[in-house]
Chain A
């Protein structure tokens, strides 16, 4: 992260792109062309630029799969926020990935109501059959990451899981093999 306090400058972003964490590939900005327009349209919804931060981070994650430090600098530039501020916000919320994740990011609810219906057994089956082994680890083939998640707001359909952006409800350990075949 840059130690600069004031809003990120162009030069600041450049210096970041040259030492990007994705090896030698220079950072490609997200907000150009149609995506810049999408951001501009969002800005019209709020009286401050800062309020567009969560939606802007969603655009980044949609496009890139995760929110890198370079992307935090970029969004900060767009919204006149410091990289440190943006990082503070990103780290508060559980849904922004700060690292690349498996192609299929699986979240299993294990909060008490689902636990009462056997959610722990669903987690076990998921870890074993995806090859992930451990919570948060990515499977050797890079396809899956499995984590536990707090209440998904679908407790009557225990056990709900989220695969990337979609819910699958009423999952039981027996259904896990069938469910996983959908995700190549």
Chain B
């Protein structure tokens, strides 16, 4: 379903099938829709068998990096005598992304079920769902659903009568984009400042509370019950282009577009059909100009690139960007790219945790220079300065927030240089000038 719109016939509504149906939120409603069968079945399997099903399905992480989920789980060694943890990443703060919010609002039990299966599969008795502090409604819904699941014996020391303990706790963040980075999330959960940690050690070795930990995105875990219910082969067969990209994926669509919202398609779906058919194309009298297809941290695409993209992990890379979190941001011909890139740089400057010099200084200087260009005070030397700063910010820091700030800057200068030049030579923003005229 293209919530808040009716499902489009070309969508593959699996995760989003019940978006907009309040009954699906309750435990009874969820059970009527096939809920908790996959957990019941999983608790009768060995953890290794579950991991194998996930591996075969080809499911990859939906949080941004696309790491194969089964492989991630296989790094954990149940029975090693240590406490294991599963962290659910519900920090969803990447500009352009608002899909995990809908999963939690409408189908909280899908997330609980996937989380419980994941916890059992990696040998964890405790899982924490870390929800960004601003998501008050998803928080309330998730807390109510967890309570229901405990009351029904689905969670607790004898989960579904299996003899295994599975505890799930909802934990509220307090406003910090960086806490979506996996090691920052763990620090935050431990009651610390949300600074990312240097890796190694990786979370599977020493993560939350120093113990072996797996962290997964909400959408990744919500897909898990479907994989177990229908089998790895079913999931794997959902692939329209590259066999390394399987299953359905939620894309959040925002910006200058007729029908913003969430859409679920099979990976490999043609981006052109997606933009013009599912999302309804540009607003009346406008033309699309640029797309950031995977949340603000991925490179900007020109329309030429976007319209020839197949929507999967490899397809976006082949056309100059990345699938990222699936947050599709669309700009039309009324928008000034310099202004938007400057605003995104400001976002990263605000959200930098400031541990690394390149990131702390780089995000701040990038913002200052871009805002100066936007205000009409740019020079042709600024290109070199911006690109040099971007180079120093890429691949050299504790986490990739720094790289994320560089991505729109580098791709913006590469693909929309004429807009920067028009600001510099005209000594003002050409878009504001038009608006005033």
Task: Give the complex CA separation of A98 and B371 in angstroms.
Answer: 29
- Taking CB atoms, residues of chain B closer than 8 Å to A51 are 189-191, 209
Q: Which of B385-424 contact A (CB under 8 A)?
A: none
Query: Does residue B95 face the partner (Cβ distance < 8 Å to A)?
Result: yes
B296: interface (CB < 8 Å):
yes
Cross-chain contact B137 with A156 (CB below 8 angstroms):
no
**B-contact 0/1 string along A3-29, CB 8 Å cutoff:** 000000000000000000000000000
Given contacts A111-B95, A155-B327, A156-B254, contact A94 B192 (CB under 8 A): no
- Contact residues on A (Cβ < 8 Å of other chain), bracket: 35 or more
How far apart are A34's CB and chain B's nearest CB, in angstroms? 18
Q: Does A150 contact B (CB under 8 A)?
A: yes
Q: How far is the CB of B148 from chain A (nearest CB, A)?
A: 18
B252 is an interface residue with CB less than 8 A from chain A: yes
A160 to B252, CA, bound (A): 15
B153 at interface by CB-CB < 8 Å? no
Whether B98 and A155, one on each chain, are in contact in the complex, defined by CB atoms closer than 8 angstroms, is: yes
B147 contacts A by Cβ under 8 Å? no
Q: A111-B343, A156-B261 are in contact. Are A50 and B190 (CB under 8 A)?
A: yes
| Contact of A48 with B209 in the complex, beta carbons under 8 Å | yes
Question: Does B262 reach chain A (CB closer than 8 Å)?
Answer: yes
Question: How far, in Å, is A43 (CB) from chain B's closest CB?
Answer: 11
Could you list 30 examples of A-B contacts with CB < 8 Å?
A45-B169, A47-B209, A51-B191, A51-B209, A52-B191, A53-B191, A54-B172, A54-B189, A55-B172, A58-B174, A92-B193, A93-B175, A111-B296, A112-B344, A113-B254, A113-B255, A115-B343, A116-B255, A116-B329, A116-B330, A117-B255, A150-B95, A151-B296, A153-B92, A153-B93, A155-B252, A155-B260, A156-B261, A158-B254, A167-B136
Q: Which positions in B face A, CB cutoff 8 Å?
A: 83, 92-98, 100-101, 132-137, 167, 169, 171-177, 188-194, 209, 252-256, 260-262, 296, 327, 329-331, 335, 339-340, 343-344, 347, 350-351, 353
**Interface residues, chain A, with chain B CB atoms under 8 Å away:** 45, 47-48, 50-55, 57-58, 79, 81, 88-89, 92-96, 110-113, 115-117, 149-158, 162, 165-167
